[in-house]
Amino acid sequence: MNHLAHLLLSEPTPEARLGNLAADYISQREYLTLPPAVRRGVMHHRQVDSFTDRHPVVFRGMARLPERWGWFKGILLDVYFDHILATNWDAVCPVPLPQFAFEVNADLLSIAGHLPDSAAASVQRIAGTNRLLTYLDLTGVEAALYRITGILRERIPDRAVNLIEALPDLTAIHTDLTADFAEFFPQLAQFSTEWCRTS
């Protein structure tokens, strides 16, 4: 899952939300320097990712994409599932998405300084530009894929790929992916709630 899902599933505290968002932007060494409540958010994010990465419905969704996307199918599905979540928000959250985004952004900006500088800058950029709302339309999905493409080209230049080119493939199977999401997300939410209760 991508930013929006992680923040929805997060425990509703500034520290938990910060950890859930920052998990993709910090190293293990940096993780050890974080306040305990933020570390808990990072761990929650990682548990959600682990559950997602091994779920059969997610495998089915990835299998719907053309083989040429290979290893990147999981990334594409993460981003597109956030689009489906945003466009079906009222079915999963009683708080309207604009209000939720406003509250989350305020929480993130209030304590982003707990993070190492580079991760703090990423969080401030996401919250400051109200990026959570951009998942509502396909231009936001395209922008997310553009950003991820840039990151991938820096980290693994020998596997350069333009993820924006996958957008037509994703929209072509939108109905099927929406059904996959509707089956998968309640199970993920239940797992997340249980983890928060028992960890």
Q: What is the pLDDT of residue 63?
A: 98
Task: Report d(CA 79, CA 57) in Å as an integer.
Answer: 16
The answer to whether 36 and 18 are in contact (CB under 8 A) is no
160-195, pLDDT tens digit by residue? 799 999 999 999 999 999 999 999 999 999 999 999
- At residue 70, the pLDDT reads 95
- The domain locations on the chain are 3-198
Please name the amino acid found at residue 169: D
Residue range 44-102, pLDDT digits in tens: 999 999 999 999 999 999 999 999 999 999 999 999 999 999 999 999 999 999 999 99
Collapsing DSSP states into helix, strand and coil, what is residue 190? Answer: helix
Q: How far is CA 154 from the centre of its chain?
A: 20
